[in-house]
Amino acid sequence: MSFNAREGWNVQASLIAKRTHNPIRSIVENIVVEPNPEKQMIALSIGDPTTFGNLKPAREVIEAVQESVESQLYNGYAPSTGYEEARRAVAEYSSTDDLKVEAKDVILCSGCSCALDLCITALAREGQNILIPRPGFSIYRTLAEGLGITVRSYNLRPELGWEIDLDDLEAQIDESTAAILINNPSNPCGSVFSREHLLDILDVAAKYYVPIIADEIYEHMVFPGRRFHSLASLSSEVPILSCSGLTKRFLVPGWRMGWIIVHDRQNILDKEAHATLTYNYIAKIPGLKPIMPDGAMYMMVHIDLPSFPEFNTELEFVQRLLAEESVFCLPGQCFDYPSYMRLVITVPQDMLEEACLRIQDFCARHHVKNYLRNSINSVEIPY
């Protein structure tokens, strides 16, 4: 077999590489605004509970890893689905009275993102579509579109605590729909679906025979008074691939280990108190409307852009907030939901309060009332 000799290097990106786009990275990396050097930087943008050092993994977790490494039993190549004893432990830990899991049902992955990637790859092929929430975590779109899979977004309803708009969900389904992706508890919304709402979602999936990918990485980060229900525990009919891991629960996101969950031992996270504190501050700021979460690590805040006439988009708003107050929040564009910004609420309480006060000061300066007053004062009156 022969071919014409190449005359020089012509190395091109693959089709998958060209298709792959991470909107969070694109938006954040293109924010060239420098924080106010006179104020300490407070990043409410990073969904990493370890960022500030106030939340540390339990000593038992560290010791378990040390014991495993020192045993010299796990230095070779592991089975493709993970060690049997580890899968058995995940199965036992994930089982409930309503849902029995066996080791053969478990596949260990390099973090929950890898688990999601495998699920999408297993269920969908190029030319098909999957349904994802809007607002929703951007990695779903990044993974699917890189594989040539079309993404369709179904709306969440902020006025109903970010429940799924079931009519909109149903309207997105066609003969090419390979899977519905459900994120509960939600990133970025912090919502936790009720049992009744999950049953309604399952009814839609069963009606059209569409399997579900359940991103449940925040399943044990639920505030008192709310209860998390695993989708798989509510249906024996709908095929469900549930994704979780140790990253958030055991405060070790850098370990990249899919599967294990998070009880708030000794209330170390104090997430609900932080959410309430943040909500109470932000709710008093004219032009902003926070939506109280029920779990996870996030709060979505609506920005009434007409109240801030200097800004055309929420991206401009968060950029100026960073420049003037050194507080960084992710714009809603990162989650395909303009006019909102996402706050991370697991930072230390004193820093969270300081961030809220800075947001308050920023909004007061740029609110339409102050903007008009300054505009009138700047007009020169000829004599």
The domain ranges of the chain are 27-55+269-374, 59-65+77-266
pLDDT score at 381: 46
pLDDT score at 268: 38
pLDDT score at 262: 29
The tens-digit pLDDT sequence of the chain (383 residues) is: 566 777 888 888 888 888 887 777 778 777 878 899 999 988 888 787 877 788 788 899 899 889 999 999 988 888 888 899 999 999 998 888 888 888 888 888 888 888 999 889 988 988 999 999 999 998 999 999 999 999 999 999 999 999 999 999 999 999 999 999 999 999 999 999 999 999 999 999 999 989 899 999 888 888 888 999 999 889 888 888 899 988 777 777 777 877 633 223 334 346 778 898 999 999 999 999 999 998 888 999 999 999 999 999 999 999 999 999 999 999 999 999 999 999 999 888 889 999 999 999 999 999 998 766 665 555 454 54
The closest of 155, 153, 151, 230 to 189, measured between CA atoms, is: 155
What interhelical angle do 314-325 and 349-366 show, nearest 10? 110
The H-assigned helical ranges of the chain are: 15-19, 23-29, 59-70, 84-94, 111-123, 139-146, 166-172, 195-208, 271-283, 314-325, 349-366, 368-378
Residue 128, token pair as written in the block: 């098909």
Q: Which CATH architecture has domain 59-65+77-266?
A: 3-Layer(aba) Sandwich (3.40)
In angstroms, the CA 319 to CA 339 distance is 13
pLDDT score at 3: 65
Domain 27-55+269-374 part of CATH 3.40.50.10190: no
SS3 186: coil
In angstroms, the CA 296 to CA 301 distance is 15
pLDDT score at 371: 66
pLDDT score at 267: 45
In angstroms, the CA 311 to CA 34 distance is 18
Q: What are phi and psi of 43, to 5 degrees?
A: -95, 105
Q: What's the order of all strands across the beta sheet hosting 330-331?
A: 288-291, 298-303, 340-344, 330-331
Q: What's the order of all strands across the beta sheet hosting 129-134?
A: 163-164, 150-157, 129-134, 177-183, 212-215, 240-243
Q: Are strands 288-291 and 298-303 parallel, antiparallel or unpaired?
A: antiparallel
Count of positions (residues) in the chain:
383
pLDDT score at 259: 60
In angstroms, the CA 15 to CA 193 distance is 37
In angstroms, the CA 239 to CA 5 distance is 51
pLDDT score at 227: 92
